[in-house]
Amino acid sequence: MSGAGPRENVFPTRMNLTTTKTRLKGAQTGHSLLKKKSDALNKRFRTILGKIDEAKRKMGRVMQLAAFSLAEVTYATGDISYQIQESITEATFRVQTKQENVSGVILPTFEPLMSKAEGGNGGFGLTGLGRGGQQITKCRETFAKAVETLVELASLQTAFVILDEVIKMTNRRVNALEHVVIPRLENTISYINSELDEMDREEFFRLKKVQSKKKRDTAVRDAEAKEKRDAAEAAGIEEEEEHEEQEQGENLLAEKDEDVIF
Amino acid sequence: MEALFFNSHGGYLEGIVRGFKAGLITQTQYNNLTQCESLDDFRMQLSATDYGNFLANETPPISTSTIAEKATQKLVDEFNYIKSNSVQPLTKFLDYMTYAYMIDNVVLLISGTLHERDTHDLLERCHPLGTFDTMPALCVATNVEELYSTVLVETPLAPYFRDCLSAQDLDELNIEIIRNTLYKAYLEDFHSFVLSLGAPTSDVMSPILSFEADRRALNITINSFGTSLSKDQRAKLFPSLGRLYPEGAFALAKADDVDQVKVVLDGVVEYRGFLEGQTGPGGAGAAGAEGATGQQAASLEDHFFQYEVGLNKLAFLQQFQYGVFYSFFKLKEQEIRSLTWIAECIAQNAKDRINDYIPTF
């Protein structure tokens, strides 16, 4: 694990190890949070999907009804489109936008707004007064309903698109964290750990080596000294004993000097 | 007296019209039409009738509006043929028939001109029966004074305008009121003209015109509930003829909801059933009644159409009179409406309502 996979380009120091560990922790927290968000969004997405399906079916029905009521009007009154166009001064059907917050995503929702201006007949004036006024009113109501459905569908569709986008983005982030950032940080940590271990082992080995070298040196020196002592004993002159001891003392001093450096 | 010399000036045309009448779509043909699966089938079925190949030159995706347009064109052609062959007083009678369309066209042009629309677009939308030579000139005028003094004074509609309009009213709301006032004046004028023609014609035409007047009065009353139209204004729009006039009209002017209209209608045997099932739940206020009218509206209009067709059919029972001309064209119009309805039902796949047309013969 240590060598495999990408890792960050850092020096394997203890400080870097701590920083990387903190970052890993952060990444993990972020990952779980994003995962939760993505789940919440997905849930919402699915409900919207269901609603859209329903609204679309409803729209089909309502539009058919509306078109048919227009046919009724044409049957009863003839072509009224021009009169209607002329007598309209302002829109009676308006759309209001509101914002809805779904786990940090701002979704615009549209709300139909009927203004009951001009004598409750929505600015149609007295169109169809002579004949077919009731059909016209009915037709207007049906179409108002149809437009309402359309508005509803529009806000659902918008939410759908936006949610889709956001879900994709969140999933991308989650995946990036899960499959790129977190493994890399883990790799870095294990790399630093292994490097540090390696360094520890090197140090340990060096110490051992020095120790063993020192041991050897002392052993050699002891052997030399013993040899000399043996030689002196072999000479066996008691008078010279003192002199020899002095020499040895001098030698020891000289050697110690070298040791001190180490 | 009338019958003695009728054939010398009107016999040929009466024969023609009765011939046309035989070409009206019959119940069996309607049945065939309602069985159609697509508009192509519909066209095929129609080609077996008097309409012949009137849709032959249309490119395949036929819209219902094209069908209506072409059928209307056929009606206009027939009308023009009869009119060009007619002599007085039939010519005058036929002229009177066109006035109704003229009123619609003039009102359309007035409203269009006030909003500075493209005149060519407007002229295309005018009913072909109601066209007159100076009609395009209407688009020049910008207010009623000017309109009247420059253009309308030349047209047969001038007296109607003179009677009903003071210059200040030509705003949004008043367009419909102008239309209905004109129509009221027109109906009254037509009626007096018909009476002046004498016995057989007036016998036939009087009920038809009276019914038309009653129908307008009823419609205006019912449609003005809940609008800004005051009761005084409403009363002014009622034509001063018809079976409901005068007491019925007076009561209608006072009516506040459908129930009161119903009470008025109970006085006339023929109209009694029209508002059956039209009332809201007992003792409901204006709002409840309004909701109920929305649902039942179609049936009232259907009753009207049915009764009108019945009256027009009666016109064919009498000979030596002009009522047949009026009736034939009204029936033809109804036929066009029925055809459009059936076509619309086929196009929109609403087979359950397809039988709501009004058959003529």
pLDDT of residue B165: 62
Q: Across residues A38-54, what is the average pLDDT? A: 91
CB pair distance less than 8 Å for A83 and B226: no
Q: Across residues B341-356, what is the average pLDDT? A: 81
Question: Would you say A118 and B227 are in contact if contact means Cβ atoms under 8 Å apart?
Answer: no
pLDDT: which is higher, B139 or B258: B258
B222 vs A94: CA distance, rounded Å: 29
Take residue A143 and report the two structure tokens written for it.
């179409």
Contacts of B169 (CB under 8 A, 6+ apart): B144, B177, B178
pLDDT of residue A220: 94
pLDDT: which is higher, A138 or B137: A138
CB pair distance less than 8 Å for B301 and A127: no
B230 touches chain A (CB under 8 A): no
Cβ contacts of A133 on chain B, cutoff 8 Å: 219, 222-223
Q: Across residues B324-346, what is the average pLDDT? A: 87
Going by the DSSP 8-state scheme, the letter that residue B135 receives in this structure is G
B302 vs B318: CA distance, rounded Å: 26
pLDDT at position A244 over 60: no
What is the interface size between A and B, counted as CB pairs within 8 Å?
A: 106
Q: Across residues A162-169, what is the average pLDDT? A: 91
pLDDT: which is higher, A52 or B157: A52
CB pair distance less than 8 Å for B117 and A86: yes
Take residue A222 and report the two structure tokens written for it.
């002891």
What ipTM goes with this model?
Answer: 0.72
A47 vs B184: CA distance, rounded Å: 58
B224 vs B219: CA distance, rounded Å: 8
Which of A91-105, A108-122, B142-156, B226-240 has the largest mean confidence?
A91-105
Q: Across residues B178-206, what is the average pLDDT? A: 84
The amino acid that residue B11 corresponds to is G
> Is the torsion defined by CA of A65, A71, A72, A78 positive or negative?
positive
Question: Would you say B323 and B198 are in contact if contact means Cβ atoms under 8 Å apart?
Answer: no
Q: Which of A64, A68, A119 sits opposite B228 (nearest CB)?
A: A119
Cα(first)–Cα(last) distance of chain B, in Å? 31
pLDDT of residue A172: 93
B196, B218, B197, B195: which is closest to B207 by C-alpha?
Answer: B195
Model confidence at B135, pLDDT cuts 50, 70, 90, reads confident
**Could you give the percent of chain B with pLDDT greater than 90?**
0
pLDDT of residue A209: 95
B309, B318, B335, B321: which is closest to B20 by C-alpha?
Answer: B335
A2 vs A12: CA distance, rounded Å: 12
Strand partners, A96: A111
pLDDT at position A121 over 60: no
A111, containing H or E segment? strand A105-114
- How near does any CA of chain B get to the CA of A132, in Å? 7
Average pLDDT taken over every residue of chain B: 78
Strand partners, A107: A100
Take residue B227 and report the two structure tokens written for it.
């609008």
**Residue A16 buriedness (CB in 10 A; 0-12 / 13-18 / 19+):** middle
pLDDT at position A197 over 90: yes
A91, A109, A92: which is closest to A101 by C-alpha?
Answer: A109
Give the residue extent of every domain in chain B.
205-315
Cβ contacts of B211 on chain A, cutoff 8 Å: none
The CA distances from residue A259 to A211, A254, A262, in Å, are 13, 9, 5
CB pair distance less than 8 Å for B226 and A74: no
pLDDT at position B53 over 80: no
What b/e string do you get for B173-190 counting C-beta neighbours within 10 Å, with b at 16 or more? bbbbbbbbbbbbbbbbbb
- How near does any CA of chain B get to the CA of A134, in Å? 5
pLDDT: which is higher, A118 or B80: B80
B299 touches chain A (CB under 8 A): no
pLDDT digits (tens, 9 = 90+) for B34-45: 888 888 888 888
Model confidence at A258, pLDDT cuts 50, 70, 90, reads low
pLDDT at position A114 over 90: no
A55 vs B337: CA distance, rounded Å: 34
B234 touches chain A (CB under 8 A): no
pLDDT at position A204 over 90: yes
pLDDT of residue B294: 43
A214 vs B297: CA distance, rounded Å: 118
When scoring A62, A86, A87 by the number of chain B Cβ atoms within 10 A, the one with the most, hence best to mutate, is: A86
B36 vs B346: CA distance, rounded Å: 7
Take residue A120 and report the two structure tokens written for it.
């409750």
- Secondary-structure breakdown of chain A: helix, strand, coil percentages, each rounded to the nearest 5: 75, 10, 15
Question: Would you say A146 and A59 are in contact if contact means Cβ atoms under 8 Å apart?
Answer: yes
Q: Tokens 């059907």 appear where?
A: A93
pLDDT: which is higher, B296 or B40: B40
Helix B11-22 with B2-9: angle, nearest 10 deg? 80
> Is the torsion defined by CA of A248, A254, A256, A262 positive or negative?
negative
Determine which of A44-48, A225-229, B290-294, B303-307 has the lowest per-residue pLDDT on average. B290-294
- How near does any CA of chain A get to the CA of B109, in Å? 10
A108 vs A99: CA distance, rounded Å: 5
Residue ranges of alpha helices (H) inside B132-243 are: 144-146, 158-164, 174-197, 199-224, 231-237
pLDDT at position B324 over 60: yes
pLDDT digits (tens, 9 = 90+) for A21-39: 999 999 999 999 999 999 9
Q: What single string gives the DSSP state of each residue in A181-239?
A: IHHHHHHHHHHHHHHHHHHHHHHHHHHHHHHHHHHHHHHHHHHHHHHHHHHHHHH--HH
**Could you give the percent of chain B with pLDDT greater than 70?**
85
Q: Across residues B59-69, what is the average pLDDT? A: 78
Give the residue extent of every domain in chain A.
14-196
CB pair distance less than 8 Å for A64 and B223: no
pLDDT digits (tens, 9 = 90+) for B75-130: 888 899 988 888 878 888 888 888 888 888 888 777 777 776 666 777 777 888 87
Helix A14-77 with A182-235: angle, nearest 10 deg? 170
- How near does any CA of chain A get to the CA of B14, in Å? 29
Would you state the CATH architecture of domain A14-196? Answer: Orthogonal Bundle (1.10)
pLDDT: which is higher, B338 or B123: B338
pLDDT digits (tens, 9 = 90+) for B201-238: 888 888 888 888 888 888 888 877 777 777 777 777 78
Determine which of A64-78, B94-108, B285-299 has the lowest per-residue pLDDT on average. B285-299
CB pair distance less than 8 Å for A71 and B337: no
